[in-house]
Structure 1
């Protein structure tokens, strides 16, 4: 009995194309996410991108009055807050799109996390398409 419908392949292909297009949109949203953090009563401000890389460090003139240890601690604290902020933004983007599976922390811990997720998705689609093609050829 042949339970393969050629329309299935078209439907799955169309869904895969839509998902890949959404994945590209998602990547664009993540690429522009910026986290911000402050410390020392706002005298130290830091921004970080979705990769976790710092993109801006601002030290107010009053921050220079801190001793070197306190200033270093404030910079580190602001950087961690910025990284936490961008991770939360990425989590929200991912959860809104993919559900609760992948988090921003996953992406930040793996600099190629999004690429790996996209590759994994592509492999999954390819495996399903191959299985359908095999069923079409040999419907046993």
Structure 2
């Protein structure tokens, strides 16, 4: 009976250890949500006539036109606004992906920033290095010992 009890105690201890590990991984969620809520990315047109500020999820939070913007004809102004808006939104989305990668990239093997850059390069018709404002890639995952109960051997999200 003692050997069986020792086995049960060892399994329970292992289970508690896994719970503590999971709690540690997810304790950064609140900070991540706060960073995303406060996220702002500003872009200004090359001629300085339009400035757009975008927030989380690419939401536009501000649009400023300089007095010289009124000298542009309506189609030029629309084009400058749209171009600057795309830059601001792209930058905000890249920042958001970087925040997610900082919080969960190593844990779940995510590289959200890379996927965002690839999607933006495709959408903008540019090479990845030409896509607006690159964000740093997350560090590589630390090696872990092989354990049948360890479920972090790869990404859990669909590609």
> 1:75-119 deviations in whole A, cap 9, x for unaligned?
1111100011112212222222322615264xxxxxxxxxxxxxx
Map of 2:61 onto structure 1: 55
TM superposition outliers: structure 1 runs of 4+ over 3 Å: 1-4
Larger mean CA deviation between 45-54 and 84-93 belongs to: 84-93
SS in 2 for 1:42: coil
Kept in 1: contact 2:51–2:64 (CA 8 A): yes
TM-aligned CA deviation for residue 54 of structure 1:
0.3
Residue 37 of structure 1 aligns to a residue whose secondary structure is strand
* 1:36 matches 2:36: no
Number of residue pairs aligned between Structure 1 and Structure 2:
107
Paired position in structure 2 for 1:101? 110
Give the C-alpha shift of residue 11 in structure 1: 1.4
- Higher helix fraction: Structure 1 or Structure 2? 1
Give ranges in structure 1 of 5+ residues lacking alignment: 106-127, 129-140
Quick one: distance in 1 between partners of 2:89 and 2:50?
15
TM-score for the superposition, normalised by structure 2: 0.59
**Normalization by structure 1: what TM-score?**
0.66
The structure with higher relative contact order (CA 8 Å, sep 6+) is: 1
Any conservation in 1 of the 2:49–2:66 contact (CA below 8 Å)?
yes
